[in-house]
Structure 1
Amino acid sequence: MTLTSSAVYRFNQRFSAGVGVPIYFDRVSTTTGTTSNAGLGDFFAALGAAWKNPALNFTTTLTGSAPTGDKNKGLSTGHATFDWTNRVDHDFGRVTPFASAGISNSVSNTRFFVRPFTSFGMAAHFEGGMDVDLAHSFSLTLSGYDIAPWGNQTVFSRIVGHGAVGPGGAHGRVFETNQQTSGGASLTRDDGFTIGLTASPKPYLDLELGYTRSMAFAMNTVAFGAVLNVSKLFHPAQ
């Protein structure tokens, strides 16, 4: 489970900045069995910009993080990391097709896919799909993704304790067997698809349920999230 606390300041309709830090609550395999693994992740800061026009909407976000988490718990890479993501989309009534592309030195989590590891190494990432507005404050997200790393990669497992050896490891899932693994680009290369459902029962509350299938790792994950916008909670007019 992950709890992320963040704050965003919007300078105007186009530019914004934010900071935050995740807190992880994991179950980890160790030399003496399974135990809980909790702690802070990496502190992050982000700068964003958005341009909206009738033809195409464009957003760009640059995120940097400091190694405040424990890499021996898989909560950090032990290095400063960055991610630069660009997205375009267009509204067709209730359907909004989108495409995003970015570059980073760590494979990042997404709304509907919290990976059981962190990584350090250069990679490009791509996603394409659509958001569909449904009735009664529900929305559906359908997308496919691709992670294209290059050069040396290091994987830090969040499910295997430091010094332990876990079971599994099929289909390149090195994060199931060792807490830290270094090697080539194949360690983090991945592709798959995501199905996500979001419910907004209140203007300040989003409930998210997602399923992701990793084709490269032959792995299924289910994620549930709750997003509370404190600003809208105490200032409903915003």
Structure 2
Amino acid sequence: MSARRLLLLGLGVAVLLYVAYGMLMAQAHRALLYPFRDQAPLVLDGFVPVVVGEATAYVHRTGAETEAGAPVVLYFMGNLGTLAAFAPMLVHHAEAGRSVVAMGYRGGGSLPGEPSETALKTDALAVADALDRLVPGHGPVVVQGYSLGTGLAVHVAAERAVDGLILAAPYARICELMAAQSGLPACLIPGIDRWRSLRDAPRVTEPALVLHGRLDHLIPFDHGERMARALPRGRLVPVEQGGHDDLMDHAPYLVKIDTFLDGL
């Protein structure tokens, strides 16, 4: 066999292997994006689970003396899938006199269902639409998301009337991150959950606070920069020594969130 034919044969085999690898990753990507298994539900004083359509929201209402007109934070967590991991942020809002509605994710925290971008966005809008029922007499509505949840927060803020948006460690497009890690054109492969927050961002007209750790190695800092630029009223606050999972360990983080909320 000539060298040319051997080269062509090798290239053909490489292409077939690459296509097979792409098909395998396309089938497996949701298991990697949503690693929700064997997790306990949120058990936190003052937070009550309420079923909203196919979703479950954990609701904390402020006391009767402060409830009327108090802000409500609609919170979307990262892809750990269990709200228990985000209890410190939820408690912080509650102790600050805010009502909190935190959405559980299908398949996570012992909840039924299978997670996907479409399913979670559908649930997020359903919970947003139920806020008046979940927290009667609430004041300003602020949507907050962390990591995976920033895509839900931006989507809700683009589709519904809210008063403010807080994004912590946001991505511009998850499919970009997948492409960088896999070597596949994830933003072009059919059936992939792409999570393109940049598409929703220009439609968010409310004030938006973007916080991102400069040392974030999971979602690089430039994603936060791009999101802040895409949001018409976006403001980027770098967390200088912050990574991806330790933002609450850095004092400016909560201070900036509280200042933003108090200014609405």
Give me the TM-score of the superposition, normalised by structure 2: 0.26
Give me the TM-score of the superposition, normalised by structure 1: 0.28
The structure having more radius of gyration, on CA atoms, is 2
Which structure has greater strand proportion? Answer: 1
Which structure has greater helix proportion? Answer: 2
